[in-house]
Structure 1
Amino acid sequence: MSYRPLVFILLFLPTVSFSSSSVPEIKQQNIHQQAQEKARQKNLATSGKDVQGKESTLNNNDGEFSDTPGCLAIAEVKLEKLETVPRWLRLQRTANQSVGHCLNIANLRHLVSMLENRMMKAGYITSHVSVPEQQAGTGKLTLQIDAGRVGNIALTEGSSDYIHIGNTFPLGSGELLNLRALEQGLENMQRIPNTDVAIRLSPGDTPGTSNIDITRQQHKMWRTAFWLDDAGSRYTGRYQAGAAFYLDNPTSLNDLFYFSVGRTLEYKKERGSRNHAFWYSIPYGYWALNFYASENSYSQPLSDELADFYYHGESRNTSIELSRLLFRDARQKTTLSAQLTKRSYRYFLSDVELELQKKDLTNLRLALSHRRYLENSVLDATLSAQRNVSIAGNEPTAEMLYNGYRPDSRILQLDLQAWIPFQLGTLSLSYTPHYFLQYSPDKLISQDQFSIGNRWSVRGFDGEASLTGNSGWFLSNTVNLDLPRWQQQLYAGVDYGQIVNRADNSEAGKHMAGGVIGVRGELWSFGYDLFAGAPIYKPENFPTDRITLGFSAQWAW
């Protein structure tokens, strides 16, 4: 290639008349590639079976004691071996509710039931209260806490034994046996696809202990997946395909791994996109460690008048995330996570790198996630705070130095999702709202800005243009109709989104709305999603198709 025309373009690029504005197209392509990577990462991640515990059905009836006139009243309740259970159970406070009531068999049984129910609700399902020999006529009642402990944890005969139990359960031999810890261990084992797991408690070798007997069968240790969709851009190629290879429990530590590759179908050096990614996840009791790395690139012609030249972008993303389950019971669980991400972006005009556009960024993200079961519904909420941090090798970019961008920019995000099933006559339906909010007090680079107007945020738009800003929100509303006979689901949705402060400092055109109808389903190992969308409201002169058709197809084995 002759570089003399290229030098001319670099010197006089602002004066060249393009058939369309290349700068918005290039910025939009960066936004589009970023949104696609987030969607790919979400779709490729393996989600195991969620374990929802059952609440205690014992009758508590706090304060309902049976008294008769002239009886011997309870003056004091002493709980022996109280130190063997956690202090936060406050069993002594529960026991003190009986003080002043009659010391009789009915009240004794009721008090024991109250204490055991308190432990049962906290997950200590093998702990009990016993009544030792009493000193008659004193009004002093003595009860003993018999804490249930773990005996042996072992696989049953005939189970698949390529598994390490030590990092799976957050409890060991001799520790207090807690149902929530069993549920966490079961969840860690059931995160592996093609695996059947059952847990049974049996009497231990010593009094007060229970053995944890695990029956486990892993039918397959690897998987493959292929996909095809039309989520690409018209500038790089609309049709895309990819493949992923999974290893399930490769090291016997209930870990997961995948490697994926993808590209536009008609890939060329000057037009197309491609990507590959690596993901690894391993649990350790209540903890989990996730590692993710990806590389993405795209190329698009500069313009019709400069068809021999193309714009090329490359990005690399490496992140490590550590999460810890803070709390769980029969109806909810809360998780805290910390993620450190290293990002780099490089841009080229044909084969010449544009030094002023390169970026090397590192950000720290803290997130608090909560899942709540409400009758038959499920609510998921995540609140996160992200901040760019300076580490060795991270220099402020030209964009930051001269355009007012903070190198330590801050971002707050709130993500709310729900699944609410309901019946309409004989029809089984569900409502799945999704609310997402981003707020930043800072001016953000394009890779961190909030955007709406594609199949992942406000649907009904073709995704070739977006509204962007430092802050904004969208609400997605979808009603689904289940058709189990055909293994299909019909759905219809209406979305609305708003940019609070536009990236171009314009007050015009800050919100949009769109609608979509579609069908998705599965047939054997083949999954598909077909949809049609249209804008309901859009800013004046906002470019998009009147009707947007789209599809995605997956095959897994």
Structure 2
Amino acid sequence: MKVVYLLLFLLLLKWLPSYAGAMPIIKEPKSSCVVINQVYFTPLRLFPLVTSKHVSEWKSALEGLCASDETLLVYADYLNQQLAEVGYITSYIHYPQQNLLFGVLYVDLIAGKLQAIEFQDGVDTGWSLANAFPLQRGDVVHLHQLNQGLANLRNTQLVPYQIQIISDNERDNMNQLIIQRTAVRAFKGRLLFESKQSQEQPNQVISQVVMLANPLLLNDFFFFSLDSDIGQGTSKKFKSASLLYSIPYHYWLLSFYAGYQESTAYKNIQLFDQIALKNDLRNRLLLMQAEYVLHRSLNSTTSASVGAQVQTLDVFLNNYRLKTQQRFSSYGLFGLSHKRDFLQGSVAVSISYKQSLDWFGSTRKQTTGLDRARIYQFSADYQRQFTFMNQPMYHRHEVELQLSHAKLDPLLEVNTITGRFGIRGFTGSLPIENAGENTLKIKNEWGWLLPWQEHKFYSGLDFASTSSERARFWQKNKLLGGEVGIQGQYKRMGYKVFFELPLWYSSTIKAEPILLGAKLSIDY
């Protein structure tokens, strides 16, 4: 029996070394670590856009872990990235000298503050930068404020701007904004000639457009347009003029618009004999509007607007003013809009409300006897570029909807779906008689971007309907029209050749079977 025990003992001695070789070897960490129980951030009052949710997420990323020097460095990079994502792109974190014996970590948030805003060319343009950027010396710099200021500068439209940030960490992280631009002021003009064969509208129209960027050195923009027919005949006449001026101030955009339009046509009236009487319409419009940016992010903007509009109309029959047809109306305007940019496209949505008022001596109630106008309008615009069979393409879709609680003035307030501002296929047609107060327009366009810069083939398909019945307005006076054309720009000369085709319409509408047209523009 002793021999058996001896053999077992010898076998055990032989087996133990091999077993010991398979045991894992636990190495000591390169640096000691401390369990972090709590993390405190100071001073959070300088960062109003850092919410309690952000703070909770930042704390949970480290609390409960055993942190070494490497861990704290990684955590610092994480916090700096989080600050940049919130919008504080010039701020960073700093670990003050402290004892982590009790597992409490203090993190200082070093705010990037504004020192000055200057133009790179050194030219002082008065209140231009003060009006553009909602920032003052000593304020914490935020990305949304920079985007808002850049958008205000770009209100001039003709002058490109860029921002360069110079940080000085040795002076309490003070930052200097350098604005790069190519010019102080800019001017652009365009001469446009349009020709199309239409029996209801003028065949040739010439337009002159003038644009001034930053005329008063307040990031303002001035636009003026003058249109006139140049046909030899006297049966169809058209003249119009419009003026737009806009000026931004921090989160506000103030706009002023004035327009005048005069159109002449001869109508056949049956008395003893059929005679043609000259019918003149002279329309004037004045609009003042203020728009306020409610929220701006890196790729989206939400704004609200309020404004007032005054509109007049005079009707002349053989150069005699018809007092019974004279109009003078005023309106209040309210609106909300949202725009979002994404990869190779954008979408914009707006909702507006328009109500007639008794301001400025309005005579709408006395002249028409209609109830107070309350008009709701909705619009959406979606556009995107894409690739099809390795070819660059784009598509765009627009929806416009108008609803009214009461009957509208047919001479001022009805939204026409034909004529100069109508849908494709019916731009040469007369407005629909007894058109409804409720209108739906759907516009679609597809295009092929040609290899040559700023040249494209495009096609469009539009649908519109109008009716006085809100419940079934999309079923009355339905129109369906299309357009095919080519458009391009070569240096200072632009061109557009197209033809419109009415695809479906009711028998009460007089439409051109096919409408050929061309536009030629020269920039200077």
Residue 454 of structure 1 and its aligned partner are, at CA, apart by: 4.8
User: Structure 1 residues 386 and 267 mapped into 2: Cα distance closer, same or farther (>3 Å)?
Assistant: farther
Report the Cα offset of residue 399 of structure 1.
5.2
Report 1:2-151 matches (<5 A): 73-86=35-48, 88-90=50-52, 91-98=54-61, 100-105=63-68, 108-109=72-73, 111-151=75-115
Residue correspondence of structure 1 range 203-222 to structure 2 within 5 A: 203-204=167-168, 206-218=171-183, 221-222=186-187
* 1:181 partner SS: helix
Letter of the structure 1 residue corresponding to residue 402 of structure 2: Q
CA contact (8 A) 1:195 1:216 kept: yes
Mark the CA change 1:92 to 1:400 in structure 2 (over 3 Å): closer, same or farther.
same
Deviation digits for residues 238-297 of structure 1, max 9, x if unmatched?
Answer: 321121333221111111113332211137887522122222111112211111112222
Contact (CA 8 Å) 2:309, 2:330: kept in 1 or not? yes
Rate the CA distance shift 1:384–1:174 in 2: closer, same or farther, 3 A.
Answer: same
Specify the SS of the correspondent of 1:195.
Answer: coil
Calculate the TM-score normalised by the size of structure 2.
0.84
Aligned to 1:448, what secondary structure does the other structure show? Answer: coil
Determine if contact 2:355/2:373 at 8 Å carries over to the other structure.
yes
The secondary structure found in structure 1 opposite 2:147 is helix
Matched residue type, 1:216: R
**Shift, 1:375, TM fit:** 2.2
> What is the identity, as a one-letter code, of the residue corresponding to 2:481?
G
- Find the aligned partners of 1:359 and 1:169 in 2 and give their Cα distance: 43
Structure 2 letter corresponding to 1:144:
D
Deviates more, 1:253-262 or 1:306-315: 306-315
Cα deviation, residue 372, structure 1: 1.1
**2:423 corresponds to 1:423:** no
C-alpha change, 1:472 and 1:436, in structure 2 (3 Å) is same
User: Unaligned 5+ residue runs, structure 1?
Assistant: 1-69
Does 1:240 find its partner at 2:208? no
Q: Aligned in 2, Cα 1:462/1:329: closer, same or farther, shift over 3 Å?
A: closer
Amino acid at match of 1:262: D
* Bigger Cα displacement from structure 2, 306-315 vs 521-530: 306-315
Amino acid at match of 1:350: N
SS state at 1:382 partner: strand
Q: Which residue of 2 aligns with 1:30?
A: none
Letter in 2 for 1:104: A
Q: Once the two structures are superposed, what CA deviation does each residue of 1:288-322 show, in whole Å capped at 9, x if it has no partner?
A: 11111122222222327565741111111111111
| Deviation, structure 1 residue 221 | 2.8
CA distance in 2, matches of 1:429, 1:507: 31
Tell me if structure 1 keeps the 8 A contact 2:262–2:282: yes
Quick one: distance in 2 between partners of 1:512 and 1:259? 33
> How far apart in 2 are the matches of 1:337 and 1:313?
30
* Equivalent position SS for 2:182: strand
Query: RMSD of aligned C-alpha atoms?
Result: 2.9
Q: 1:440 to 1:506 in 2, by over 3 A?
A: closer
Among candidates 309, 315, 337, match of residue 283 of structure 2: 315
Q: Secondary structure at the match of 1:433?
A: strand
Aligned to 2:503: 536
User: 355, 358, 374: which one pairs with 2:323?
Assistant: 355
After superposition, where does 1:178-193 map in structure 2 within 5 Å? Answer: 178-193=142-157
Note if contact 1:184-1:285 (Cα within 8 Å) is conserved in structure 2.
Answer: yes
CA shift for structure 1 position 218: 0.9
Question: TM-score w.r.t. structure 1 length?
Answer: 0.79
Per-residue deviation, 1:206: 2.4
Structure 2's unaligned 5+ residue stretches are 1-31
CA contact (8 A) 2:465 2:475 kept: no
Contact 1:160 1:218 in 2 (8 A): no
2:156 is paired with a residue whose SS is: coil
Tell me whether 1:433 sits opposite 2:397 in the alignment: yes
Q: Report if the CA contact (8 A) 2:440-2:465 is conserved.
A: yes
**CA contact under 8 A between 2:395 and 2:446: conserved in structure 1?**
yes
Selected match of 1:515 from 449, 462, 482: 482
1:88-121 C-alpha deviation (Å, 9 max, x unpaired): 5334323342475124135544544444333212
CA distance in 2: counterparts of 1:345 and 1:456, whole angstroms: 18
Deviation at 1:346, TM superposition (A): 1.2
Which residue of structure 2 lines up, in the alignment, with residue 482 of structure 1? 449
Distance 1:390 1:108, change over 3 A: farther
1:490 Cα offset (Å): 0.4
The aligned residue for residue 364 of structure 1 is 332
- After superposition, the Cα gap between the structure-2 partners of 1:496 and 1:336, relative to the gap in structure 1 and judged at 3 Å, is same
Deviation of the 1:527 alpha carbon: 1.7
